[in-house]
Chains A and B, each alone.
Chain A
Amino acid sequence: MAVSTNVNAPKPTTGIGAELGRRFRSNIQTYTIILALVAIWALFAVLTNGSFLTAQNVSNLFRQMTVTSFLAIGMVFVIVTGNIDLSVGKLAGFVSVVAAYFQANVWYQMMPNQPLIAAILSILIGVGVGVLFGVLQGYIIAYLNVPAFIVTLGGMFILNGLILLVTQGKTIPANQPYFSEIAQGYLPPLAGWVIAAIVVVFLFWNMFRSRQSRARHGFELPNLGLEMAATIFFSLLVIGYVYWVNQYRGVQTPVLLLAITALIMAYVSNNTRFGRYAYAIGGNREASRLSGINIRRSVFLIFVLMGLLSGVAGIVLASYVGYGTTAAGQGYELDAIASAILGGTSTLGGVGTVFGALIGSLIMSSLTTGLQMLNVAPAWQYLVKGGVLVLAVYADVYFKKNR
């Protein structure tokens, strides 16, 4: 038996084709889901004679996906640790009515001519309510050992009651200046281009920096051509997106907010202890415990994070709809869970990405928009969405088995 180590053995040179093949196989799930998205878009583009891809529609499509996307990002972390959160839809709804309540009734009395300060205070209160509820649920789940399914199911009922208490069954307007910009605002075209430029510069800088650092430590370098191609591809995506939405009214504020949140959370998931521990706990709780990870604390913090993101989603929701209503957030938890799972999050825990959840969310909202444009009845929209979810997961199971 050879005792040599092959950890850093230089690989035989392989062509770009082989490298591509290897990458494709190792990321098959990501590619499947992206291909599914492209297929869905192509289908709708044909069926709607191209109007699905008009600047206005694409702009609205992305704006529409933001609320559930915030929830889906948090849900990835929750499911990755082997938990579930059924309360997020109602929590976002509750936050939205609280924010609307303060916007419509409180600030107006206290400081009638300060819409900016009022908006900021509403945001703080809304996010605060989300965090507080996350703290409460997280504490009960992590420290009192009540299963997350039950705690959040109870939470869903409680929040529903709270929504009715706050609204008194009525609709509260939340369409005041500044506040409505959160979900309905657009950046001027120039600002959009500046952001695109920053992102592109960052993508290239990041690629070269990571290559440099790998080279410095003597690690094997990925194929330069391939990395360049990937970076150029992503740059073109960003540029293309900005170009497209600038044809309409510019980059949407909530999409920018979502992109920033997603970047931060993607970074957190991979480059912080908090993120790594979440994946380790979901992957093997016992091994994590013996590795000195404080599981209770990690799970608690995950639910606080989920509360925070629900708070953000609630604010965006209130601003997007322009009202706080009794039905606010109804069913969003299921969209969020479906998005995370479409995006490759394993219900068994330990596996899942923020990026995947966003794609999943985009698929869900593409289906909604596309079917609506085709005047498909809501009943059939549900049937199609449910079918797509199960089919997508089956496709994944199938490819994994036959790899």
Chain B
Amino acid sequence: MSDDIILDFRNVTKRFPGVTALDNVSMQIRRGEIHGLCGENGAGKSTLMKILSGVYPYGTYEGSVIYEGKELNLGAGAIRQARDEGIAIVYQELTLVPNMTVGENVFLGKEPSVNGSIDWSELYANTRDILAKYRLDVSPQAVVKHLGVGKMQMVEIAKALSENAKILILDEPTSALTESEIDKLMEILENLRGHGVTCIYITHKLEEFFRITDSVTILRDGKTVTTQPTRQLTQEKLVSYMVGREMKERFPRGHRQPREVIFEVADLQAVDPNETSRTVLDGVTFNLRRGEILGIAGLMGSGRTELVTTIFGEYGKITGGVIKLEGEEVHISDARDAMHKGISLVPEDRKGQGLVLMQSILKNISLANLDQFSAFFRIDADAEMVAATQQAKSLGVKAPNLQAQVDSLSGGNQQKVVIAKWLLSNPKILIMDDPTRGIDVGAKYEIYKLMNDLAERGVAIIMISSELEEVLGMSDRIMVMHEGRSTLTLDIAEASQERIMALATGIADEILPV
């Protein structure tokens, strides 16, 4: 690492009608370093990266970007040009073509060709070399849609690396990865640093800055707060820079007293409905008490999401085991049935499963509960408005009014809308699948407080989370899953990151000290 500056943002300002997304941002990135970019949603990180990648071409912003000693001058539609210059981005939302193979995806838009037709053997050989070089455990011929999210991410990175990127921008690369996949990613990044590739690393998981980055720039409300070497920072400092004030605790503690068991699952077994030879749940046992938060931990692919969607009646075909609600055995046929029985599910993928993005906040909140407001055929618009307004208020949804489209909201506010929607049915059991994924620290905090409030009011909450700190910070008990099975349910007092990881990775629990 040197003081050689590869990329220099000088007083960059980007305005949209009515909003200044970037306000005089200056930032320097040294060659070969991993540079963290930190800030809440809406702080301007994405806008900055869109300037780098040519989505906002030269001339649509003020100030200048000096790349490799000269002004970065990307024309309109310059995404291709940015890639040729050696700037590659791995986006938070994966941009792979699901029906194509890994190799086709890696070389999409730059297929090696002989006499105008694609040279397939060259393409697959090159793909294999890239994958091997960075120890990515994927077959070049595998069709992308059959891969898990973690592997897709690896393909994205391989794709970026195949372009001989000088700067690799990673936008929330770990938001969908398991701990072991994150470890692997970190290895890859170390490796890249060794090869002199510069990385810009964007994440909401603060601990990752300390794990991998050399320096961190903090943005707030479109302005640079500071750039500091990572070793001079602490998590608390980082958070206070981000929100502009000290945040005493990341996880508010509730004062709740879990009550009687409301929900029991015993030895639940299920198969993939589309591929009945594939077992997704292979013996899951746990119980849930009123007024508690039960965390479900486990690696990606351990069956966490499959478990909750199966309980909700929307995924697995149950082949064995018993589900009891308030002591009675129940068979839940679909989402509607689950809701009638008092179970709500805040799904994992906010945009894909939770919201109708082009519709208003109002319509999104009421969608699952229109029955409540309907008499015969007619929807009582007043009742709908009153109920939705009340929910939006109690959750602190920030929007000009309820007619605003949800895709104009920030991630945190969108998530609040999803939660509002699922609280409207007054559930007894609220299942939340990764409720704080990809949202900023402030909004996370509000959602944690809300969860505490709900639990205090007697709602039983199941929370899936990929972040161990979150599981440990919020849960009363933690059920750990491994390969479709439940291992142990730990009381919060006996749980630790090490112990959960040991259970989740299948290392025998007994050999570890408690």
Q: Which positions in A face B, CB cutoff 8 Å?
A: 1-8, 11, 213, 216-217, 219-220, 268, 271-274, 276-277, 279-280, 283-284, 286-294, 350-351, 403
Contacts and interface: CB of A to CB of B under 8 A. Distances in A.
Interface in B283-336: 312, 314, 334-336
Nearest to A213: B382
A291 B367 contact: yes
B353 A290 contact: yes
A219 B384 CA distance: 13
Interface string B362-404: 0100011011001001110110011001001100111111100
Contact of B396 (A4, A220, A279): A4
Given A4-B396, A272-B378, A350 B358 contact: yes
A217 B385 contact: yes
Contact of A8 (B345, B352, B393, B446): B393
B354 interface: yes
Given A220-B401, A287-B353, A290-B314, A274 B377 contact: yes
A3 B359 contact: no
Contacts of A1: 40, 243, 442
B357 interface: yes
Grouping DSSP codes into helix (H, G, I), strand (E, B) and loop, the A interface class, with mixed when no group exceeds half, is: loop
A27 to B, nearest CB: 12
12 contacts: A3-B396, A6-B399, A7-B402, A220-B401, A272-B374, A287-B354, A287-B367, A289-B335, A290-B335, A292-B334, A293-B336, A293-B368
Contact of B356 (A272, A288, A292): A288
Nearest to B376: A272
B421 interface: yes
Contacts of A213: 382
Nearest to B370: A273
B355 interface: yes
Nearest to B381: A271
Contacts of B400: 6, 11
Given A272-B378, A286-B352, A287-B354, A280 B396 contact: no
Contacts of B377: 268, 272-274
Interface string B335-346: 111110000010
B347 interface: yes
Contacts of B389: 7-8, 217, 219
Nearest to A348: B358
Interface in B227-254: 243
Nearest to B368: A291
Nearest to B340: A292
Given A220-B401, A286-B353, A288-B367, A5 B393 contact: yes
A217 B384 CA distance: 11
A271 B382 contact: no
A291 B338 CA distance: 10
Contact of B339 (A5, A7, A292): A292
Interface in B174-191: none
Given A3-B446, A217-B386, 14 more contacts: A1-B243, A1-B442, A8-B393, A271-B379, A273-B371, A280-B359, A287-B347, A287-B352, A287-B367, A290-B353, A291-B367, A292-B338, A350-B359, A351-B358
Contacts of B379: 271-273, 276
Contacts of A268: 377
A273 B375 CA distance: 10
Nearest to A6: B398
A219 B385 contact: yes
A307 B349 CA distance: 36
A7 B352 contact: no
A273 B367 CA distance: 9
Given A279-B359, A284-B356, A292 B336 contact: yes
Given A1-B243, A289-B314, A289-B335, A283 B371 contact: no
B370 A276 contact: yes
Contacts of B335: 289-292
Nearest to A291: B368
Given A1-B40, A271-B378, A7 B399 contact: yes
A176 B466 CA distance: 73
Nearest to A216: B382
Nearest to A281: B356
A292 B366 CA distance: 12
A2 B40 CA distance: 13
Nearest to B403: A26
Contacts of B345: 290
A8 B404 CA distance: 12
Contacts of A4: 396
A219 B374 CA distance: 21
Interface in B414-455: 421, 442, 446
Q: What 4 pairs between A and B have smallest CB-CB spacing?
A: A292-B336, A283-B356, A291-B368, A1-B442
Nearest to B398: A6
Nearest to B17: A403
Contacts of A11: 400
A8 to B, nearest CB: 7
A292 B374 contact: no
Interface in B11-52: 17, 40
B154 to A, nearest CB: 25
